[in-house]
Chain A
Amino acid sequence: DAGVTQSPTHLIKTRGQHVTLRCSPISGHKSVSWYQQVLGQGPQFIFQYYEKEERGRGNFPDRFSARQFPNYSSELNVNALLLGDSALYLCASSFDSLADTQYFGPGTRLTVL
């Protein structure tokens, strides 16, 4: 079975640009969560989506947005990129929004120059 997939693997952008990251959950999973992992730190929660609805949001500015599609895949959008947005963006899938086990994808490495 395929695990969580994310695209692209790596991305380089310049300040002020916007970026879209994509995630496909494990087949049968209906919830997707996004996390940001800055180098040398633990991941931080950004969003959780379940059945196309936002179920939770972490302490991130409005430049960050996300959505979930009918096939349960998800996009994370970041506008007006800052140098500090450089990080590994991780997607995790779970069966539903309260499932206690989340399965992580390999991440997208975003570099903002």
Chain B
Amino acid sequence: AQSVTQLDSHVSVSEGTPVLLRCNYSSSYSPSLFWYVQHPNKGLQLLLKYTSAATLVKGINGFEAEFKKSETSFHLTKPSAHMSDAAEYFCVVSDPRGGRRALTFGSGTRLQVQP
């Protein structure tokens, strides 16, 4: 079975300071890992994905994540937060066994950005 644990339900940062959203995963197979963002009353947007290529993955809007197999972690970072980054962020693991790719979501981290 696969699972995802997002270690913080809420993170608050000041505009211009670094962002760190933490995620640990569990998977019996080599996983694909994703970060999605959900702005209020909007659908889910893919930020970035890891699929066994480079361990440091760059995404949209300046976000990046590093896959660390030894720590089973896939933390999301951004050097400098912007007000528009305020949203709900989901860490997601995917397992393609059985001819289908169901996504397993974490419980989410709400990012607040203070002016």
Please indicate the chain B residues that have their CB under 8 angstroms from the CB of A100 in the complex: 32, 49, 51, 94, 96, 101
The answer to whether B43 and A106 touch across the interface, beta carbons within 8 angstroms, is yes
- Residue of A58, A94, A97, A100 most packed against chain B (CB within 10 A): A100
* Interface residues in B, total, Cβ within 8 A: 23
CB atoms of B108 and A98 under 8 A apart: no
Is the C-beta of B35 less than 8 angstroms from some C-beta in chain A?
no
Contact residue among B32, B99, B103, B108 (Cβ-Cβ distance under 8 Å from A45): B103
Please name the residue on chain A nearest to B102 by beta carbon: A45
The total number of A-B Cβ pairs within 8 Å is: 65
> Is A102's CB under 8 angstroms from B103's CB?
yes
Write out, one digit per residue, whether chain B residues 30-74 have a CB within 8 A of any chain A CB (1) or not (0).
001000100000111110010100000000000000000000000
**What residue of chain B has the Cβ atom nearest to residue A42's Cβ?**
B105
A residues near B100, Cβ cutoff 8 Å: 48, 50, 55-56, 97-98
Looking at the assembled complex, report how far the CB atom of A95 sits from the nearest CB atom of chain B, in whole angstroms. 11
Provide the residues of chain B in CB contact with A58, threshold 8 Å. Answer: 102
Chain A, 69-113, contact with B by CB distance < 8 Å: what is the 0/1 string?
A: 000000000000000000000101010011111111111000000
- The CA of A91 and the CA of B62, in the complex, are separated in Å by 27
A33 at the interface (CB under 8 A from B): yes
| Cβ-neighbour of B101 out of A4, A43, A97 (below 8 A) | A97
Whether a CB of chain A sits under 8 angstroms from the CB of B25 is no
B 62-91 to A, binary, CB cutoff 8 A, 1 in contact else 0: 000000000000000000000000000010
In the bound complex, residues from chain B placing their C-beta under 8 Å from that of A55 are 98-100
Q: Which residues of A contact B94 (CB under 8 A)?
A: 100
A90 to B107, CA, bound (A): 16
- Other-chain residue from B44, B51, B106 in contact with A104 (beta carbon distance below 8 A): B44
What are 5 residue pairs bridging A and B, where the CB atoms are less than 8 Å apart in the complex?
A42-B108, A43-B44, A97-B101, A100-B49, A101-B46
Seen from chain B, the residues whose Cβ lies within 8 Å of a Cβ on chain A are 32, 36, 42-46, 49, 51, 90, 94, 96, 98-108
Instruction: Report the 6 A-B pairs with minimum CB-CB distance, sorted nearest first.
Output: A42-B105, A56-B100, A55-B100, A104-B44, A106-B43, A45-B102
Residues of A at under 8 Å CB distance from B?
4, 33, 35, 41-45, 48, 50, 55-56, 58, 90, 92, 94, 97-107
